[in-house]
Every structure is written in structure tokens, then in C-alpha cells.
Amino acid sequence: GAGVSQSPSNKVTEKGKDVELRCDPISGHTALYWYRQSLGQGLEFLIYFQGNSAPDKSGLPSDRFSAERTGGSVSTLTIQRTQQEDSAVYLCASSLNQLNTEAFFGQGTRLTVV
């Protein structure tokens, strides 16, 4: 596709369940980023991929959060044993490479933990 695509658009899950969020970056973009936006907060950086490796995981809030990227393309963000405070919009972005600070964002996945 032409833009960054995320799925699902919305996800409601029960507390304690695991969830997987998917991101398809723009073709040819080597850098991929995950952010989240909680209610009333700015975008919070989670993790960055360059190719399939993650040189910056500094934003992951706990060890319940993990992410992988395969084939230098699709990325999956996994949240294990979800908690109510995980409820947020999770945004994925990609850029041509890490030298580009202006990234292209997907529409986000709204996660609600009940």
C-alpha cells in the first residue's frame, strides 16, 4: 500500500489477556517506530527498528511489552498480560532511514483493556 497500515483499528481485550498489534510500513522504509498515546498525553516513543534489529527499545514501559520485525517489513507489537493502564492508541510510523526525523504514521490501533 501507499501508506503505513495498522491492524486492527480497534481492539477490546480483557485484563490479563495478550494482544498483538500489526504494522505494515511504507515499502522501502528501513526505519520503523512504535509510539503510544494515552488519554491526555503526547505521543510516547516505545521502540525503533532499523531493518529487523531494534537499536532503541528505551521506551518500552515494562517487560510485558515486546516487538519484532521480520523481513525488514512487517512489525508486531505484543503486550502480554494486559493491564487497564495499557489502554491507549498505539501508533506505528516509518521513515526511509533513521536520518529522516519526519516519519509517516499509520492510523493507529485503539486498545481498550476492560
Partner 1 sequence: DQQVKQNSPSLSVQEGRISILNCDYTNSMFDYFLWYKKYPAEGPTFLISISSIKDKNEDGRFTVFLNKSAKHLSLHIVPSQPGDSAVYFCAASARTGANNLFFGTGTRLTVIP
DSSP sequence for the chain: --S-EEE-SEEEE-TT--EEEEEE--TT--EEEEEEE-TT---EEEEEEETTEEEE-TT--STTEEEEE-TTS-EEEEE-S--GGG-EEEEEEEESSTT---PEE---EEEEE-
Residue 14 or 97 having the CB closest to partner 1: 97
Q: Cβ of residue 88: shortest distance to partner 1, in angstroms?
A: 13
The residue within the footprint of partner 1, chosen from 86, 95, 111, 113 (CB under 8 A), is 95
Q: Is 23 in the site for partner 1 (CB under 8 A)?
A: no
Q: Is 65 near partner 1 (CB under 8 A)?
A: no
Q: Tell whether residue 45 is a contact of partner 1 (CB under 8 A).
A: yes
Q: Is 77 in the site for partner 1 (CB under 8 A)?
A: no
Which residues are registered as beta bridge partners of 7?
Answer: 22
Nearest distance from C-beta of residue 98 to partner 1, angstroms: 5
User: Radius of gyration (Cα) for the chain, nearest Å?
Assistant: 13
* Residue 41 engages partner 1 in binding (rule: CB under 8 A): yes
User: Site residues (CB under 8 A) for partner 1?
Assistant: 4, 9, 31, 33, 40-45, 48, 56, 59, 91, 93, 95, 98-108
